[in-house]
Amino acid sequence: MRTLSIAGTGMLAQQTNVDVISNNIANMNTTGFKRQRAEFQDLLYEQVVRPGSASSATTNVPTGIQIGSGVKTAAVYRINEQGATQQTDNRYDLAIQGHGYFQIELPDGTTGYTRDGSFGVSDQGELVTNDGFRVLPDITVPQNVVDVTVSKSGQVQAVIAGDAQPQQLGQLELATFMNEGGLEAKGGNLFLETAASGNPTVAAPGEPGMGTLMQGFVEASNVNPVAEITNLITAQRAYEMNSRVVKTADEMLATTSQLR
């Protein structure tokens, strides 16, 4: 009886759906978080009668008989739409408006990418993430700095005590990818380049295809709580319906076993 296995795949699929939705809700206040959506595909079909097969010497079957095997999770897709900007008044916080990722040097020497612009300075004056990872290109803030400004195009300047003119500290750059959905989520608001994402294109903010920067702001999560709760209810109902199918199939098998 195929019904038990088919309904079982439906329950597993909805369990994955609920896992994705719960992760979205859990990260609704995570800076720079991008919500995800589970996508599904139907499984292989048993071709009892193939469509178009001959039913006589001169006629063909118009539709045939194809029995499905259930459903599977095809992908968990990341939706990279812009999140709202939140003012923090921290002069080292940066939000990206538009496309692009900040480049972060990881402890193993590789480059990570993030939309989380919650930055600070290390004991050496280097611009770093909340985990202490350096922001690339390297920006070092002098000790006797009075103020630091970051332009929309990523130019970092500092006002030094006793100097009339601001000092240029460096130029921030952003990276974009042909397929942002192909980036590997590492955790800690970081992503890694993969063969699916393609190689990064690096340029200054404001260049063609690149977003601009906002100083004193961070990008909030793009999770819509109302939509996620609606999706959660829908997934719950779908899970209940599949479990009801399992119960019905079990009752049918019990009926069959009681035949004399």
Co-location of 164 and 184 in the same domain: yes
Kindly report, residue by residue over 189-236, the tens digit of the pLDDT.
Answer: 999 999 999 999 999 999 999 999 999 999 999 999 999 999 999 999
Domain shared by 96 and 195, yes or no:
yes
Q: Which domain holds residue 210?
A: 85-219
Count of domains for the chain:
2
Residues 208 and 246 in one domain: no
Q: Is residue 111 domain-shared with residue 187, that is, in the same domain? A: yes
Specify the pLDDT at position 220. 96
Q: What is the pTM of this model?
A: 0.87
pLDDT reported for residue 57: 84
- Using pLDDT thresholds of 50, 70 and 90, give the confidence band for residue 143: confident
Instruction: Please indicate whether residue 128 or residue 58 has the higher confidence score (pLDDT).
Output: 128
Q: Are residues 147 and 198 in the same domain?
A: yes
pLDDT for the residue numbered 106: 96
Same domain, 97 and 213: yes
* pLDDT tens per residue, range 60-118: 888 889 899 999 999 999 999 999 999 998 999 999 999 999 999 999 999 999 999 99
Same domain, 94 and 213: yes
209 plus 124 within the same structural domain: yes
pLDDT band at 54 (very low <50, low <70, confident <90, very high): confident
Radius of gyration of the chain (CA): 27
